[in-house]
Chains A and B, each alone.
Chain A
Amino acid sequence: MKGRTLVRHGKEGMKNLGRNGWMSFASISAVTIMLMVVGVFLILILNMNHFMSTVEEDVEVRVYVDLTASEEEQKELEEGLNQIDHVESITYLGKDEGLDELIESLGEEDRAAFESLRDENPLNDAFILQADEPQLTEEVASQADKLPHIDRVDYGEQVVEQLFNVTNVLRTIGIVLVLGLMFTAMFLISNTIKLTIVARQKEIQIMKLVGATNGFIRWPFFLEGLLLGVLGAIVPVAAVMAGYHYLYDNFAERLRLNFAELLPVYPLTLQVTLVLLGIGALVGVWGSLTSVRKFLKV
């Protein structure tokens, strides 16, 4: 296709947008609302995923030795642990160190109470295992659990699973909401373009009579749809960029103190921008093509 023709189609598309001002506005707003939701959920979910992967890396398996086990039996256990597949490291944590660790993690007031336990330490000796891949933690834990002379085996099961559940729920809500909004936006866009087509039916009929190809006739509508979608993405893109910048600048430090880390502003916002523009364009083009198809059968 010639450049001049593309310019012509572009102008036509723009003119159509103006001609159906209110419907265009409604379509663009629908795309905007949909993409806002997509943007917020994307940022939430990507950060949750990131958080989960950092937590997973810290996941360790604690194997507590039976209180009645003799020193020999403890040695035997350590050898057994050494033979489990996918174990990256084994650290011994004697019950005294275990108590130190516990006391350190407590507030001032409770510390005194626990200090008094020093003589009759109720804790178990423990081995701390780290799996070579976070996903294999559970597997390592269950292997360890089969060995003799064990009191119990603990790992960060609950934390990881809860995080996983929250992310899943978020993802499901996000997908349902986004799909619903996407169809609303598409419906509005295809109706806007239908208005244009009806207004230009005579023109299309003449175009067909003088031998315009369907492709040629379709172009302005295709561009009109694309434009509706992309214009709808502008506000969400700006909001995501500015909003995340603000969030990051104000909360990243505070969250880091709680061992949670926000994804850095770049490249996240750029990626989200591309996704939003892509979805906007897709919905626009899809909406326009569904409405044009019927009108070309002359």
Chain B
Amino acid sequence: MIEMIDVSKTYSNGVNALNDIDILIEKGEFVYVVGPSGAGKSTFIKMIYREEKPSQGSIIINGADLTTLKEKHVPYLRRKIGVVFQDFKLLPKLSVFENVAFALEVIEEQRDVLRKRVMEVLDIVKLKNKARFLPDELSGGEQQRVSIARAIVNNPRVVIADEPTGNLDPDTSWEIMDILEDINRRGTTVLMATHNREIVNTIKKRVIAIESGRIVRDEMRGDYGYER
């Protein structure tokens, strides 16, 4: 599903963000990526949806080798990967419905399929009754649920989330986790970078710990493992 072989990443300014990463994530897994700030978690995630290219090694997603993937095929890779961010990345002038529909519009989905599918995912994130609201009229947790809805609306095989609860209060964070677990139960692989010790220690999943660009620990049902 997601495989990295000897991957290293050095940014053009010389920062060595990741070193010798070897990892295999199977279909249907739920994986936390933990580590202190600046460890390389975001870099790790960006390489999966090809926002960054590795300087060395190869990355294989759904059987396609990203290092040899042609630029014009990148959009089709991204349609199979849903991405969720700490800052939601919603368009402020579009309603909840339109923000989610946006992901289907740009891949030219048929109108009636689009409408049906958007309402389906709004149901999954429990926002069906707020479809006409603007992002400003929603709480932070609700906004993050919209962005999750957008990430899953075209049925991706993987959802990757970079600190999805980073801007949210604890109660809201649990709501988001409920939804991510629900998505994972439906068969989607979920990969989530996080700082949230409580979540990692409570909802036990596979934990990959990164420190200074190296994987220092990879445990099934692991702990957060750092003292604060």
Contact = CB atoms under 8 A, between A and B. Distances in A.
Interface of A: 1-2, 4-5, 8, 202-203, 205-214, 216-217, 298
Contacts of B105: 8
Interface in B40-68: 49, 51
Given A202-B89, A202-B91, A210 B102 contact: yes
Give the bracket for the number of chain B residues in contact with chain A: 20 to 34
Which of A5, A207, A298 lies at the interface centre, i.e. has the most chain B CB atoms within 10 A of its CB? A207
A246 B222 CA distance: 87
Given A203-B91, A211-B75, A213-B72, 7 more contacts: A2-B108, A209-B49, A210-B78, A210-B79, A211-B78, A214-B75, A216-B108
Given A4-B111, A298-B51, A212 B91 contact: no
A202 B102 CA distance: 13
Contacts of A1: 108
B52 to A, nearest CB: 11
Contact of A210 (B51, B72, B154): B154
Contact of B107 (A203, A211, A217): A211
Contacts of A2: 108
A164 B125 CA distance: 78
Nearest to B73: A213
A279 B182 CA distance: 57
A202 B92 CA distance: 10
16 contacts: A2-B108, A5-B108, A202-B91, A203-B91, A207-B102, A208-B75, A209-B49, A209-B78, A209-B83, A209-B89, A211-B75, A211-B106, A213-B72, A216-B106, A216-B108, A217-B106
Contacts of B49: 209
B150 interface: yes
Interface in B89-115: 89, 91, 102-103, 105-108, 111
Given A5-B108, A216-B106, A211 B89 contact: no
Nearest to B76: A211
Ranked nearest first, the 9 interchain pairs of A and B with the lowest CB-CB distance are: A212-B106, A211-B79, A210-B103, A211-B78, A211-B75, A213-B75, A207-B106, A209-B83, A5-B108
B193 to A, nearest CB: 16
A237 B103 CA distance: 42
Interface of B: 49, 51, 72, 75-79, 83, 89, 91, 102-103, 105-108, 111, 150, 154
B78 A208 contact: yes
Nearest to A5: B108
B107 A212 contact: yes
A37 to B, nearest CB: 40
A221 to B, nearest CB: 15
A203 B91 CA distance: 7
A210 B107 contact: yes
A216 B103 CA distance: 13
A82 to B, nearest CB: 72
Contacts of A5: 108
A8 B98 CA distance: 14
A16 to B, nearest CB: 14
A290 B65 CA distance: 31
A1 B78 CA distance: 20
B146 to A, nearest CB: 12
Contacts of B111: 4
A5 B106 CA distance: 9
Which of A2, A210, A214, A298 lies at the interface centre, i.e. has the most chain B CB atoms within 10 A of its CB? A210
Contact of A205 (B76, B89, B106): B89
Nearest to A210: B103
